[in-house]
Amino acid sequence: MINLINILNEVFPVRGYYRPESSFHTISEWEAISKEFLALQSQGYDVRGGQISNNDQLIELVNKYFGYQLYSETELFSQLTKKMVLDFIEDFVNHRVWSLKDEFEKYIVNFDNDKIAFFYSRGALEPYILLDEQFTEDTYGSNDIQVVSYHYTTEEGYKNIVDSISQGIHIPISTFTTQFKEFFKPESNILLKLKGDLVAAFQSDVKSITTDKGHKAANLFRFSFPDNENNLCRNWIECQQNKTYLWNEIIMKPTEILDGKRVNQSLPKLDENYPPYKADMILKTRYKASDVWTNDPKLAVKKGYLEGNTKKPDPKKGTGKKPKGSDRRLYTDENPKDTVRIKFKTAQDIKNTLAKKSFKAKPHARKSQVINLIHQRVRAAYGKAKDPEVKSRLKRALNYIEKRKEASKKKTKILNKETSNPQSGKAVPYGSGYGQVKKEGTCGYNKDVKTNKTLNAPGKLNEKCWKGYTQKGFKKMFGKRYPNCVKK
């Protein structure tokens, strides 16, 4: 065991995703929000069964208070589904919110003052409490308590901390004073001794996260502790009796690096070869969380807010698909002759678009792209619409294009079944280059050009190349020869 009694606080660059601070609300605010859901539920509008009832007010409530979880976290975490989020909302407004205070009030000094939010963690949506200035003031009576602690970080993290402190930007980080177990990230081989302002102290780690406003938040399920003790330490100096045999967590805002060393090496010196950490820009641009739709960590990288972003330029000639990291719209096609102009304000606009000769003349794969594009744009417009008449009109358009999309999917499945892979005899994806299965003698090349013998016995499958593909000789696989289909 390493026991660092006289030192408190550690600093390292934030890893992972920022959570929007707009998702946090006091317990009284959550109860009022839940009553709004229950009022609509009494009228027959709810989220049961993983479905949102077609009610504008209900949709607005879901988007406003659980939009980040429903649309952003389900994209970030494959284990979290939209049905899980909607099931959580139903359970929360009917049951959980009414027992939150009784469950956690014993751990918090002034639970009514503090703000709570719910984010994905290890398989479920779990409650997090905001560790802001109000929380620190209520718990410790001041926001100016000086602490000293340790922090493991990488070489890059060390440079970032130095730069942040030099700019006067003090972002809270997780540090420790008691360690029972070795730190589990081998790349974090620099140990810093830091001085800073106390935010909160815990006997064992609390799975803290960071918000887009630069605050920390702690998992409320981690406030319980062995022997019915409180994991939250009211006196940080005494926060060293770790019955979980891991390490404690001292959250602080570093203001000074007192000392540091690399494992078995001296601490590297900073010089002009290391670019400065854009800490001020990070604070200004952390999602700018005006709404849940902008809380995308990839957006900060894409716009160059994070150091080291090397965005590849778009190719001069497009391929019909959106290049990774490109500013182009989805399904961009640089060939004007292949363009299908679309309208989607009403269901009739969509019908007219799909009735155009320019659309009907396209192969099925291209038609599917156009239908998917219309569906995405109508869905986005419907989600942002506020006027009831506009929303109703777009809802009818959305219902129509969803039917067409399902029909397109069914046709794709049928086409997949009608195609065959000559290498395995199994169905291959539509658009692979292999043609529809033909009977022997109909393909025109089922004989060896040298021996004039039939390559495949009667009843075996003989394929011809699709439009856009041409045969260039044969290839031998599994002891048999097959036509070699390549793009023209």
What mean pLDDT value characterizes the chain?
76
pLDDT in tens, 38-70: 999 999 999 998 899 999 999 999 999 999 999
**Nearest 5°: phi and psi at 333?**
-130, 115
Query: In the structure, what pLDDT confidence band is assigned to residue 287 with cuts at 50, 70 and 90?
Result: very low
The domains of the chain are located at 2-282, 336-414, 423-488
Classify 391 as helix, strand or coil. helix
SS3 letters across 426-455:
CCCCCCCCECECECCCCCCCCECCCCCCEC
| 233 or 183, which is more confident | 233
Q: Is the pLDDT of residue 241 over 80?
A: no
| 461 or 240, which is more confident | 240
Q: What is the pTM of this model?
A: 0.53
Q: Which two tokens stand for residue 297?
A: 């960590």
Sheet with 124-131, strands from edge to edge, namely 25-26, 115-121, 124-131, 216-219, 209-210
- Position 2 scores a pLDDT of 29
pLDDT in tens, 401-449: 999 999 999 998 888 876 544 444 444 444 444 444 444 443 444 445 4
